[in-house]
């Protein structure tokens, strides 16, 4: 397929707000696309070059892209900047300049455009930025204006058409059967191999049944994590779950560890919940081969920071300082870690996701040797609500968040489904308070007044997920330290956009001064949830306050509207 043809589909998608129409347009596109290029097509329409765990990124800032556009169309940089201030969109800028100055015929194929973009993204070393500018400008110059419009947005992460992997899965089903009936089958495979481009390619090549059955975890590709539900009452937990394991809930960083023993050096990956590979955070994982009785292994763990002076656990925000790319060796000394192992997903060629949890714990015991780096979580087996309550109090007193209660015989099911895992941060006695915090997406912010003018923002608007849309639940202006106000302002300034993103549903009376791309996830606590005609979620948080930034979560992993509704019902009990 020529990229010019793909750009016409992108134009149609951009001008369509109906979810079902978007799905039908995508299905039409997928039917036309060959197996050899469908993966590349899907990545491009999502505005990426590969899933996040592959680590293929451009590192071309907005200022660099303005240089690219100026060079592509032989234009004066100052004039380009002036025009950009009017358009506010790098794609529209390329289109406007391209209409009068482009010589591109639009004959490049999707495959060629994709490969050239990957080559640009992977260029590194001395003077790589200059080469990236040169190559990207050359590519834009060879494209017709309509194609250049969409390609120019990709390096700066602005090709957002209002849908995610979930809509792609719906569209694949629609392309196969004319409805969403194949979605569960495709989604189940996606949970194990969360690479929607690769999955689509396999379906095209092998057919849906072969491509989606007997899918097992692969070293180097993160499985979507299993998540916990919320129940406040231990009595209700036992009623719904029966016999359970009660385990400590740490305030750490969820890490999926992949290990493969090799003669040339062990292959090790560490994936967060948002599927990013952050192995560079954890140099100490280089020695885990000594503590593992396996050739290949995937473990689910919690990285917990330790205070080396007081020999106690530190909080999540302190642990997350390990994410800095530089000065890792000093951080290694300042914030030593241990990994609390609580599940095994795969070992030596066998998929254990369908194995009952009590059996997986036995496998863990045989797999992890005694050491101080990776430690199997303690677990108490019970069917007595009083034990859950006492363990919760004991853990909170010890400085932990609470407990995780796990069904004795549950399989490892990605996502938050059924009463398999339940977290308890507050006790049964916490009537009238929320049973948990919410992970919300920052949608925009308003300028500060008084002292807050120094920070650049006074309050920010947050929302929760409802399928591919984000609906508002509150504005937050309290609970932040001066340092957090400044940090949030810096983060948001980098992702400000002129127009409201398509996936945002916001009441006009709540519109902020500045819109931002859906990138920053924050954990919010509140006293209660109330009904709200003003907020598009239909519910609002009362007395909201920032708990912490959730850099380990993507916007697609934010709290869902259905979860907020469950919390609303829970507080009434």
Boundaries of every domain in the chain: 229-424, 438-570
With residue 462 as reference, give the H or E element that holds it: strand 459-466
Residue 22 pLDDT exceeds 50: yes
Predicted local confidence at residue 433, as pLDDT: 62
Tell me which residues are annotated as active site: 249
Mean pLDDT of 426-433: 47
Which of 526, 439, 435 shows the shortest CA–CA distance to 234?
435
C-alpha 524/C-alpha 472 separation (Å) is: 13
Mean pLDDT (whole number) for 553-559: 93
Quick check: do 229-424 and 438-570 share a fold?
no
**pLDDT for 310 beyond 50:** no
CATH number of this structure's domain 438-570, picked from the four choices 3.30.70.20, 1.10.260.40, 3.30.70.1450, 2.40.50.140: 2.40.50.140
Q: What is the pLDDT of residue 321?
A: 59
Distances (CA, A) of 551 to 278, 345, 522: 12, 24, 8
For 87-98, give one letter per residue: b (16+ CB within 10 A) or e: eebbbbbbbbbb
- Rg of the chain's alpha carbons, rounded to an integer? 25
Burial 190-225 (b: 16+ CB within 10 A, else e): bbbbbbbbbbbbbbbeeebeebbeebebeeebbbbb
What pLDDT is attached to residue 150? 96
**What region does 9 belong to: left with phi over 0, alpha with psi -120 to 50, or beta?**
alpha
Average of per-residue pLDDT across 488-500: 90
pLDDT band at 451 (very low <50, low <70, confident <90, very high): low
Tell me the pTM.
0.86
| Euclidean distance between CA atoms 280 and 265, whole angstroms | 16
Q: What mean pLDDT is reported for the chain?
A: 90
Place of tokens 């763990």: 301
Of the candidate CATH numbers 3.30.70.360, 3.30.470.30, 3.40.50.300, 3.65.10.10, the domain formed by 229-424 belongs to: 3.30.470.30
pLDDT confidence band for 232 (50 / 70 / 90): confident
| Nearest partner of 250 among 79, 496, 59, 423, judged by Cα | 423
pLDDT digit string, tens, across residues 348-386 = 999 999 999 999 999 999 999 999 999 999 999 999 999
Q: What percent of the chain has pLDDT over 70?
A: 90
Q: Taking phi first (over 0 means left), then psi (-120 to 50 degrees means alpha), and beta for anything else, what does residue 508 get? A: alpha
Mean pLDDT in residue range 130-146: 95
pLDDT (average), residues 434-442: 88
């Amino acid at each position: 397929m020529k990229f010019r043809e793909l750009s016409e589909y992108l134009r149609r998608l951009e001008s369509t707000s109906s979810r079902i129409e978007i799905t039908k347009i995508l299905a039409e596109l997928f039917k036309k696309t060959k197996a050899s290029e469908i993966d590349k097509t899907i990545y491009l329409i999502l505005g990426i070059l590969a899933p996040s765990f592959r680590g293929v990124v451009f590192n071309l800032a907005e200022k660099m892209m303005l240089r690219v556009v100026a060079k592509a169309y032989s234009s004066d940089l100052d004039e380009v900047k002036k025009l950009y201030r009017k358009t506010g969109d790098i794609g529209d800028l390329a289109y406007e300049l391209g209409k009068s100055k482009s010589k591109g015929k639009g004959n490049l194929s999707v495959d060629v455009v994709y490969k050239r973009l990957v080559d640009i993204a992977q260029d590194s070393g001395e003077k790589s930025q200059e080469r990236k500018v040169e190559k990207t400008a050359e590519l834009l110059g060879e494209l017709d204006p309509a194609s250049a419009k969409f390609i120019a947005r990709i390096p700066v992460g602005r090709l957002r058409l209002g849908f995610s992997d979930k809509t792609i899965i719906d569209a694949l089903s629609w392309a196969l059967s004319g409805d969403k009936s194949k979605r569960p089958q495709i989604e189940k495979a996606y949970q194990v191999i969360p690479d929607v481009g690769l999955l689509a390619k396999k379906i095209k090549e092998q057919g849906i049944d072969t491509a989606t059955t007997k899918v097992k975890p692969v070293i180097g590709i993160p499985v979507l994590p299993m998540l916990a539900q919320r129940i406040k009452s231990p009595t209700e937990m036992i009623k719904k779950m029966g016999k359970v394991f009660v385990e400590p809930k740490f305030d750490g960083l969820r890490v999926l560890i992949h290990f493969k023993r090799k003669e040339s050096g062990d292959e090790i990956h560490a994936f967060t919940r948002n599927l990013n590979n952050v192995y560079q955070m954890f140099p100490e994982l280089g020695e885990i081969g000594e503590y593992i009785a396996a050739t290949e292994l995937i473990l689910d763990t919690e990285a917990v920071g330790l205070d080396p002076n007081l020999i106690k656990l530190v909080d999540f925000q302190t642990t997350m300082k390990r994410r800095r790319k530089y000065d890792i060796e000093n951080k290694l000394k300042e914030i030593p870690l241990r990994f609390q192992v609580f599940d095994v997903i795969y070992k030596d060629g066998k998929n254990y996701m369908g194995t009952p949890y009590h059996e997986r714990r036995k496998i863990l015991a045989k797999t992890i040797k005694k050491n101080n780096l990776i430690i199997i979580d303690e677990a108490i087996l019970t069917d007595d609500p009083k034990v859950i309550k006492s363990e919760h109090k004991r853990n909170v007193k010890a400085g932990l968040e609470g407990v995780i209660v796990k069904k004795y015989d549950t399989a490892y099911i990605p996502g938050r489904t059924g009463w398999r895992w339940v977290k308890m941060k507050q006790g049964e006695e916490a009537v009238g308070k929320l049973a948990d915090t919410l992970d919300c997406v920052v949608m925009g912010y308003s300028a500060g007044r008084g002292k807050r003018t120094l920070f650049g923002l006074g309050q920010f608007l947050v929302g929760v997920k409802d399928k591919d849309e984000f609906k508002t639940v509150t504005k937050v202006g309290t609970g932040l330290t001066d340092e957090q106000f400044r940090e949030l302002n810096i983060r948001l300034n980098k992702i400000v956009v002129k127009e409201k993103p398509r996936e945002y549903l916001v009441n006009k009376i709540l519109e902020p001064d500045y819109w931002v791309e859906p990138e920053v996830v924050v954990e919010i606590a509140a006293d209660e949830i109330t009904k709200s005609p003003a907020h598009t979620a239909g519910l609002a948080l009362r007395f909201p306050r920032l708990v912490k930034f959730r850099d380990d979560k993507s916007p697609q992993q934010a709290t869902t509207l259905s979860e907020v509704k469950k919390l609303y019902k829970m507080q009434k009990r």
